[in-house]
Structures are given as structure tokens and as C-alpha cells.
């Protein structure tokens, strides 16, 4: 009997070790993949231009996974060494706090919670079991910890001043990377308006109103109602604008998008998307929506995964970018990879040079390529970030 009990204990111990170490790694490896690990060769002109310009990506979900941002790994899409190799100057890091089981682009409810088990396996703090806001704050703290340990290699961008100072430093050191904190879905407010201030205080400067299901703030493109802003949602948008938090309409329903654009006093962003004229689907923007966002002065980040471009190829990415430019004008188009967002992309972040080269080969001018690859994102942040962080404008957690 004693041997049996020892055997059971050993099996349980192995199962626990696997749950906390192997399982998160396997899930990460299966959900964040690439078409090819080798980066295709690019032209000398494309390579030279890529080294000269400011590269920025509006969306990656690296903080969700149990990796150290400072360490190069062979899975997923983003870490500091690969950002540096790809010459990426600025990365927007978005946090994910809840996704539904069997999530799809058509219709989901918020009754199930994939992130609960993942967070448990990755040993997130106890508060994250019951609070979605705590999950957001924990992921923000992961980024802040990486910034502290990076020895100056990463700068957390929270104001126009910090963005300008970073850009000056990077001019002399192209290995530096700027980071902006964002969020997918304001279910992370836990239904409380004051949570906007708490998240602002924790460094968030871009917030997506919805993700894969309707929440207390707004209707999702993938929810049940496909409705618009709630009364709380209108208060949230107003407070975000007061603080200098960019309103991200990625994943928003058409009604939510229309209602936000009708009330917005500042430029909005759609951080990661496709265009319906190139790849039809509820996830992607119509030409009418593209024109409305351009009229607002906003910015659209074109993604690389199948939901955005149908097939994750450089040809389809360029086709989507060129269509958006034709409809909106070049100043409103940017990159929004959705790296590490449970996506399959053509390559990891090292491969962004392929987009520079392909746009140049397609006949775009160097100036227009530079705008799309990052200058537009820099200009957008300079227009939307607060000049300095107001010391009395936030509620302490």
C-alpha cells in the first residue's frame, strides 16, 4: 500500500510540474506560429531603407505568455533580441485578460474564460483569479519589470516627452526599443469607471473597447448583440479622451465604431485589422469605415494573420496596405501585426523588413514606405499621448 501511495504521489507531482511548466509552453508553441522560420532575402535598397527609418508595430500580445521579454526564444513572435534584430523601434504591447472558449469571428458570449486556466498554469497572482483588472495590472507589471532589467534597452512610453526623448536617444543607439502599453477589451475595467484611471496610472495609453465578446462598455464585432456603446461606455470614452488614452476600435461592432466616431474629439486607432475589400469578414474594415476613420484623423494598423489578410503572405499584406492607402491616404495606414495573439504569421518580428522591401518593390516612394512602416505611428502618438502625466489626474490602485 505504501508503494502505491508513493507511486500516486510521484504521478501527481509530475502532473503538477507539467501543468506549471510544460503545458503553458506547449500551448504557446501551438498557438503562436510562423509560416517560415527563415527570413526571405530582400533587396539592397529595401535593406538600406529599413535601417534608416523608424519601424513601429501597433499590436502584439507577448505579455500574455510565460516568457521573459529580454530572452530570445524559439517560439512565438516577439522578444527584445528579435525586435532589435528586426530593427523595430517601437512596439505596442497589448494585454489580454479574458477570451471565450471556442472563440470565433461570428458570435461569442463572455460566459467562459480561457485565460483563467492559462493564468493559473503560469502562476499569476491570486488576485487575477477574480479580477480582470488585476490581470491587466499584472501584465503591465511584467513589462515594467522587463524595462527595469533591460538596462536602458527598453523605454516605456507614456507621454509625448518620453517619446521624443526616446527618439533622440535611439538616433544614437538603434538597439533601443520603445514600448507602449495597450489593452484588448474593457471588460478589464471590472465594470467600474474609476478603473480607467487605475489603468492609466499603471501605464496604459491605448485601450480597445471590446475583444471577442460584448462587455459592460460596448458591443463587439464577434459578440451576440452587435450593439453599440452603453451609458458606461460613453463615460469611459470621455474619460479616456480626458486622460490622453487612445481609443482602439479593433474588434468593435459596426455600431460601436459609428457611435465612437460620432462623439470622438480625438483621433481613434484600429490597432490590428484587415480590409474587407481584400479579405471579406466581420473582423475587417469596409471602405466606408476606412474613410470615416481617416476623416477623424485616425490610424489603421494592417495585420499579418489569416483573419486579416486571408492567407498570411507578403503579397496579401501588401495588397491590404495598398488598398487602405488608396482609400484613406497614406498618413492613416500603419502596421498592426497581432504577433503572439494566437496567430499564424508569415514570420516573427525579425521579418518586418520583408514588408519594407515589398512596399518599395511595389512602386511606393521611400517617403510613403517610411510613413507606413512607423512614421505614422510616431506622429499619431505625438498627437494623442498626454504631454506630461498629470500628477493629480489618476486614482491610485
b vs e for 118-151, b when ≥16 Cβ sit within 10 Å of the residue's Cβ? bbebbebeeebeebbbbbbbbbbebbbebbeebe
**Residues of the chain above pLDDT 90, percent:** 90
Q: What are the pLDDT digits (tens) for 358-380? A: 999 999 999 999 999 999 999 99
Assess contact for 300 and 323: CB atoms under 8 A.
no
Picking from 138, 154, 239, 151, the residue whose alpha carbon sits closest to that of residue 192 is 239
pLDDT in tens, 212-268: 999 999 999 999 999 999 999 999 999 999 999 999 999 999 999 999 999 999 999
Alpha-carbon distance 301 to 372, whole Å?
A: 9
| pLDDT tens column, 214-223 | 999 999 999 9
Q: Where are the domains of the chain?
A: 45-384
63-111, pLDDT tens digit by residue? Answer: 999 999 999 999 999 999 999 999 999 999 999 999 999 999 999 999 9
Write the pLDDT tens digit of every residue in 281-320: 998 999 999 999 999 999 999 999 999 999 999 999 999 9
Above 90 in pLDDT, residue 21?
Answer: no
Cα–Cα distance for residue pair 331/299, rounded to 1 Å: 8
Question: What is the per-residue pLDDT for 23?
Answer: 75
Is residue 332 pLDDT above 50, yes or no? Answer: yes
pLDDT tier for residue 48 given thresholds of 50, 70 and 90:
very high
The confidence band for 388, taking pLDDT boundaries of 50, 70 and 90, is confident
Characterize the bridge pairing of strands 33-34 and 90-96: unpaired
Beta-bridged to residue 34, according to DSSP, are 345
Closest of 250, 240, 212, 22 to residue 108, by C-alpha = 212
Instruction: Give the count of beta carbons closer than 10 Å to the beta carbon of residue 282.
Output: 17
Q: How confident is the model at residue 16 (pLDDT cuts 50, 70, 90)?
A: very low
Let me know if 74 is exposed, middle or buried by CB neighbors in 10 A (0-12, 13-18, 19+).
exposed
What one-character DSSP code corresponds to residue 73? Answer: -
Span 45-384 CATH architecture: Alpha-Beta Barrel (3.20)
Closest CA to 340 of 82, 126, 47, 18: 82
Amino acid at each position: 500500500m505504501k508503494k502505491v501511495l508513493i507511486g500516486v504521489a510521484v504521478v501527481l507531482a509530475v502532473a503538477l510540474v507539467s501543468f506549471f511548466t510544460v503545458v503553458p509552453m506547449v500551448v504557446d508553441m501551438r498557438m503562436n506560429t510562423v509560416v517560415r522560420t527563415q527570413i526571405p532575402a530582400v533587396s539592397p535598397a529595401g535593406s538600406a531603407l529599413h535601417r534608416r527609418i523608424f519601424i513601429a508595430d501597433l499590436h502584439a500580445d507577448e505579455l500574455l505568455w510565460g516568457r521573459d521579454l529580454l530572452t530570445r526564444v524559439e517560439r512565438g513572435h516577439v522578444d527584445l533580441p528579435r525586435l532589435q534584430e528586426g530593427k523595430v523601434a517601437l512596439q505596442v504591447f497589448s494585454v489580454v485578460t479574458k477570451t471565450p472558449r471556442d472563440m470565433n469571428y461570428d458570435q461569442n458570449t463572455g460566459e467562459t474564460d480561457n485565460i483563467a486556466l492559462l493564468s493559473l498554469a503560469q502562476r499569476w497572482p491570486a488576485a487575477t483569479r477574480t479580477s480582470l483588472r488585476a490581470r491587466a495590472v499584472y501584465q503591465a507589471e511584467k513589462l515594467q519589470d522587463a524595462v527595469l532589467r533591460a538596462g536602458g534597452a527598453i523605454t516605456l512610453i507614456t507621454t509625448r516627452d518620453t517619446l521624443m526623448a526616446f527618439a533622440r536617444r535611439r538616433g544614437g543607439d538603434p538597439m533601443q526599443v520603445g514600448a507602449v502599453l495597450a489593452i484588448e477589451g474593457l471588460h478589464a475595467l471590472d465594470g467600474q469607471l474609476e478603473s480607467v484611471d487605475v489603468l492609466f496610472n499603471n501605464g496604459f495609453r491605448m485601450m480597445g473597447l471590446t475583444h471577442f465578446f460584448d462587455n459592460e462598455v460596448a458591443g463587439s464585432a464577434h459578440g451576440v448583440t452587435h450593439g453599440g456603446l452603453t451609458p458606461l461606455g460613453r463615460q469611459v470614452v470621455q474619460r479616456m479622451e480626458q486622460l490622453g488614452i487612445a481609443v482602439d476600435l479593433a474588434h468593435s461592432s459596426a455600431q460601436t465604431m459609428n457611435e465612437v466616431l460620432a462623439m470622438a474629439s480625438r483621433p481613434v486607432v484600429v490597432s490590428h485589422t484587415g480590409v474587407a475589400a481584400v479579405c471579406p469578414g466581420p473582423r475587417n474594415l469596409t471602405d466606408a469605415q476606412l474613410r470615416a476613420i481617416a476623416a477623424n484623423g485616425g490610424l489603421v494598423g494592417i495585420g499579418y494573420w489569416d483573419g486579416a489578410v486571408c492567407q498570411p503572405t507578403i503579397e496579401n499584406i501588401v495588397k491590404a496596405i495598398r488598398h487602405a492607402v488608396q482609400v484613406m491616404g497614406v498618413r492613416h495606414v500603419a502596421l498592426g501585426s497581432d504577433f503572439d495573439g494566437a496567430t499564424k504569421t508569415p514570420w516573427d518580428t525579425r521579418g518586418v523588413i520583408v514588408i519594407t522591401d515589398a512596399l518599395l518593390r511595389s512602386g511606393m516612394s521611400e517617403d510613403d514606405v517610411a510613413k507606413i512602416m512607423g512614421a505614422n505611428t510616431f506622429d499619431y502618438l505625438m498627437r494623442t499621448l498626454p504631454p506630461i502625466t498629470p500628477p493629480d489626474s489618476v486614482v491610485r490602485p
